[in-house]
Structure 1
């Protein structure tokens, strides 16, 4: 059994955006957030990533470069224009980031594997970033006010349910599910960059792609331990 402290920390991480709340300060909502205009670069820092965690079997694994830690997301580019198709893609990105966050939150609570704790925090930041872009471009957020594990897109819901059932079988199965999510995200982000001219969205997708690649590497390392 995990300690009460660890379980509480996991639930706090899972609840950051799992209920559709926007964990952004008031200035961000006014356009000065992760992707708002300004003379200097905007960063989204990842606090608390130096936390260690003991593996359930006593292996003593601790947070490190192989555990999916993302230092920060930085966007210095300005707002551009998006086509209707690109706006739809941004909506899909919001769904994908929520799927990853909600799925990893369940696995973080179920398994004593610090890789899920770390990556679910990163996914919270990714959700915030995408939601801020949605607001900036005047696009309705499909994840707003949606409980954890609930999606407005039926295909996304079916994917989530399938991966959740898979990951509940074992830690190995959960890591495999995480790898699949990140592979799908990488493919989607690469496709989304095609023909994209909006500087801020393009830079955001580049950052998210790099993060997904780190997450995939982290899940792969844990799967081979």
Structure 2
């Protein structure tokens, strides 16, 4: 079944572009992929919240935070579509229900506040973590809607790494 062309609402200059998940066929999501989607939503929120702080502090990453907002929205819609709860939904910036994610956020925030180069390294590392996670999971993604959203987030994470590297030279 062909997918619809991405709407402008899902395009951005930082690289995230995804077709409407409602037009993609769904499928069963095994327990391991449920855990992956929940972890991915938390990591995306973590990256988004860090980018927002660092963008304000260092006047960098002008298009990355909106991209991660769209990624997080896509993930939350996907979780909802499959009847799964996002433990970070409804929590304010920098707040996480999972103590491990909260500790990682606090550690990365402290590192990034030491200077612009450190903030760029944190952004690069958080995107690289997403890349590793999705590279490992990609062969087992069976549901078309899950596979499509994860592939777009994987591509966006690669772009975020390149953006962080490009800003490092400024």
**TM-score normalised to the size of structure 2?**
0.90
Equivalent of 2:17 in 52, 72, 79: 72
Aligned length in residues: 168
Give the match's secondary structure for 1:145.
coil
Whether 2:134 is the aligned partner of 1:134: answer: no
Whether 2:142 is the aligned partner of 1:197: answer: yes
Root mean square deviation of aligned Cα: 2.2
Q: Which structure is richer in relative contact order (CA contacts within 8 A, separation 6 or more)? A: 2
Name the counterpart of 1:170.
115
8 Å Cα contact 1:46/1:122 also seen in 2: no
8 Å Cα contact 1:95/1:156 also seen in 2: yes
Whether 2:38 is the aligned partner of 1:94: answer: no
Whether 2:28 is the aligned partner of 1:81: answer: yes
TM-fit CA distance, 1:190? 1.2
8 Å Cα contact 2:47/2:68 also seen in 1: yes
Q: Which runs of 5+ in 2 are unaligned?
A: none
Name the counterpart of 1:45.
8
Change (3 A) 1:44 1:70: farther
8 Å Cα contact 1:45/1:73 also seen in 2: no
8 Å Cα contact 2:128/2:161 also seen in 1: yes
Higher helix share: 2
Q: 1:187 and 1:48 mapped to 2: Cα distance?
A: 24
Name the counterpart of 2:154.
209
TM-fit CA distance, 1:188? 0.9
Change (3 A) 1:191 1:72: same
**TM-score normalised to the size of structure 1?**
0.69
